[in-house]
Amino acid sequence: MRIKATKMDGCGNSFLVVDEMKTPLAGFDRSLISSTLAAQHETDGILFVDMNRLRKMPSMKIFDCDGTEETMCGNGLRCATRYFRDTYVANDKFSIDTGDGQKAVGVIDDLTEVDLGEARDYRQISDQLHYVFTGVPHLVVIGSEISTENARIFGRSLREDRSLCEFVGHPEGINVNFIWRDQEGIVVRTYEVGVENVTLSCGTGSAASAFVATKVFGTALPIVTNSLGGSLRITENNGHLSIRGQTRYQGKVIGFVNGVYPKPIIPIDYRHHQHYW
């Protein structure tokens, strides 16, 4: 199977956008497609964008580079926002349906901003360890500056700590963020589940880190989070956390996936590929 995609990144967090309004994939194994495309094009994740027929709004599914489907990805949602706005949607503000529910999104000049909703299930585990759910589970480690290599080593260790993961209710594993203060706000290094490495940026991780920083450092939002790939501005409105930053197009790519066959449960209704906005 030959699949066309658009490569994008949000603060260095890279994605392939697969437009299912142009390439319908109902019944196909998106997990296998994702892991294959990610290996061919060295990307952190795959975004499958489409139209939600029931809600008549844009939708996004996110898969990690290992083929694991996630409920949410902040920078992925920002890339999907830019793609929808530039390709289909006439308004600067709209909503996208995700695995973590409907999210309000928008484009402001050359920046994209997305509302991740409320931070959930916050708990302090120890003086240095804090847990919070911002669409996906995140552990936030308070400390001083840490090298990328050490963040990789300790991040993997905490991500694979079964007792810790079960304690916070996510035996499948948790993302790990190491944070420390700087002049602008905080610095974040995130070890991501599914990527199994330190990534250049993580939107939900930045939001989780900023939220924890308000608890630990007494810093009020908005907070600027600085990662290896760039900066994000984390704000709060009526209890909801939003992330704002740049997104970039890196070009068009083509992937080839073998051994993937459709298994439709119901006939594919191609009428849903018309535009409702």
What is the DSSP annotation of 115-180?
EEEE-EEEEE-SSSEEEEESSSEEEEEE-S---HHHHHHHHHHHHT-HHHHHHTT-TT--EEEEEE
Token pair of 190 as six digits? 């995130």
| Per-domain boundaries in the chain | 2-110+248-263, 117-244
Could you please state the CATH topology (level 3) that the domain comprising 117-244 is classified under. Answer: Diaminopimelate Epimerase; Chain A, domain 1 (3.10.310)
The answer to whether residue 9 scores a pLDDT higher than 50 is yes
Of 76-80, 114-118, 202-206, 266-270, which gets the smallest average pLDDT? 266-270
Provide the pLDDT confidence category of residue 262 given band limits of 50, 70 and 90.
low
Instruction: Determine what percent of the chain is predicted with pLDDT higher than 90.
Output: 88
**pLDDT (0 to 100) of residue 54:** 79
Strand partners for 47: 17, 62
The answer to whether residue 268 scores a pLDDT higher than 60 is no
**pLDDT (0 to 100) of residue 266:** 42
The answer to whether residue 270 scores a pLDDT higher than 70 is no
The answer to whether residue 269 scores a pLDDT higher than 60 is no
Same CATH topology for 2-110+248-263 and 117-244: the answer is yes
Mean pLDDT of 137-146: 97
The answer to whether residue 62 scores a pLDDT higher than 70 is yes
- For the domain spanning 2-110+248-263, the CATH number is 3.10.310.10
**pLDDT (0 to 100) of residue 56:** 84
The answer to whether residue 255 scores a pLDDT higher than 60 is yes
